Structure 1
């Protein structure tokens, strides 16, 4: 084969700014395939006109764009400019959202370390102990006993990105069915989380409306809906208000309740729930009020069958 217009992998690596190891990886993953591989030596050669594509790969990977996404964008010899522009804008928006979350998490951690009375270090606490104490100083955890309740439920398995759209749609459907009853509500709406719900993990999330079991009952249920009878339970709970109801600040409330349960020797007896005691529709509205409640049992009691009783929602 005429190799006049081919660059060996070493020269191509220098020109593109990609290491030889990276070029081999992108070859194996189908992102950047050599023009020729010597059958005797296994040496890889690239065309000179592949250099611009390699430089684009380097830039996209510097943005932490997944290899699979890079491969899709470059399919067919470099991809479409309009598709690439849309992908870059979407990637930037996602990165800005992640940065906002990271900034909020850092501020939340600093608040938990500092606490309302100054740095925890001033009281002799530091590290993980300081984080724990900072969270508990801002969240008073109490036990309450519930009464048996009948609940209209609509669930779905979602991750962080699908959580809010699902809840909005679910409650629209639930309230429509309840209005045809009409059902008599016995308490505010709540959400039950059966596991970890974040960007990497999906879990079953249930939108719930409690109603009077001796009154009108729902007629025809929508797809995926059910009616459940929840037994009397003991809950460890805390109430959060205003900006503390927004993600990720609200995670400190889940942590505080979980720590309290563990430190007081109780058993986690079911999935956690968040109740909209007062909700304006805007996550950080000062008038918002939510209760975070975990069902608990005495040590040794058999918990509910659930894939992850320690699940915490990652968005709201």
Structure 2
């Protein structure tokens, strides 16, 4: 190996704009490996042509691209792929995150200045026992819209084979936090008349029937842009706050009920209900799990 073509890590750091610590980290993570490591001293050397690659890595990290994505993008580029589409996709994702952050800050300021109770009026309604046709999946918020569209298409097709008589609007049950940091079980639900036709026996995987008990629901309504993510999160917080403030216990997954839905998330005609089952702390919920397993 021609040592004249190599730069020691200190000089390479100066040329690339990366620190020695960062270069060691990128070596360990498989992003940018040195061309030569002295077996006696362990000192790292890089080829001069690697400076351009290191500068590219520095720029990608300045865009807040995760190290894993940087490694994948470099591997595809070495393989002859054009990196430009990936950069545009990263920019679009960053713009979406920024828009979400703007909405979250706006909602937080509103709650701090006006209070959640001023924005969302929480009331109580009694809900009868229900039999629902369910399509479930574990996912993050980024996959929620696509899942619900597909799930309800499948559920309405299955319901038509019954044919089932619907007893109320479609709703979604969230068994945990559904955002970009957390994934949870999400259930698309269609309530149907229990004494009518039965659903098909050969339900596909992920589709089942639930028997939901009679319960009390703390609920509030949101309409238009307030029904879109992330603005809608304030409605969930308001209902949860009402339950805790009144010293009740949560008695099941929270619901998002489609009172009116146009198919466009921020359409002014959309109207959703956020409803959370609750009970006195001494009561015990006995809701069964999906057929073939525990809920």
| TM-score by shorter chain over 0.5 | yes
1:283 aligns with 2:283: no
Moved more, 8-17 or 176-185: 176-185
Query: Which residue number in structure 1 is paired with residue 160 of structure 2?
Result: 179
* 246, 264, 272: which one aligns with 1:264: 246
> Structure 1 residues 46, 59: closer, same or farther in 2, change over 3 A?
same
1:149 aligns with 2:114: no
CA contact (8 A) 1:73 1:80 kept: no
Unmatched runs of 5 consecutive residues or more in structure 2 = 289-295
- Output the CA distance in 2 between the equivalents of 1:303 and 1:23: 55
1:107-135 CA distance string (max 9 Å, x none): 212222333xxxxxxxxxxxxxxxxxx11
1:60-92 CA distance string (max 9 Å, x none): 11111111111122227845351x111101101
Query: Which residue number in structure 2 is paired with residue 209 of structure 1?
Result: 190
State the shift of 1:247 in Å: 0.8
Query: Which residue number in structure 1 is paired with residue 211 of structure 2?
Result: 229
SS in 2 for 1:299: coil
Q: How does 1:57-76 map to 2 (within 5 A)?
A: 57-75=57-75
State the shift of 1:180 in Å: 2.1
The alignment of Structure 1 onto Structure 2 pairs a total of residues equal to 287
Query: Which residue number in structure 2 is paired with residue 16 of structure 1?
Result: 16
SS in 1 for 2:57: helix
SS in 2 for 1:248: coil
* 144, 147, 151: which one aligns with 1:163: 144
* 224, 230, 235: which one aligns with 1:242: 224
* TM-score, normalisation: structure 1: 0.87
SS in 2 for 1:75: helix
CA contact (8 A) 1:186 1:210 kept: yes
CA contact (8 A) 1:73 1:79 kept: no
State the shift of 1:305 in Å: 8.1
- Output the CA distance in 1 between the equivalents of 2:118 and 2:156: 37
State the shift of 1:219 in Å: 2.3
SS in 1 for 2:89: helix
CA contact (8 A) 1:155 1:205 kept: yes
State the shift of 1:2 in Å: 4.0
CA RMSD of aligned residues (A): 1.7
- Output the CA distance in 1 between the equivalents of 2:271 and 2:279: 26
CA contact (8 A) 1:242 1:285 kept: yes
1:230-277 CA distance string (max 9 Å, x none): 111111111112221111111000000001111100011111011001
CA contact (8 A) 1:270 1:304 kept: no
Unmatched runs of 5 consecutive residues or more in structure 1 = 116-133, 307-316
* 210, 231, 237: which one aligns with 1:255: 237
Moved more, 33-42 or 219-228: 219-228
SS in 2 for 1:215: coil
State the shift of 1:301 in Å: 2.8
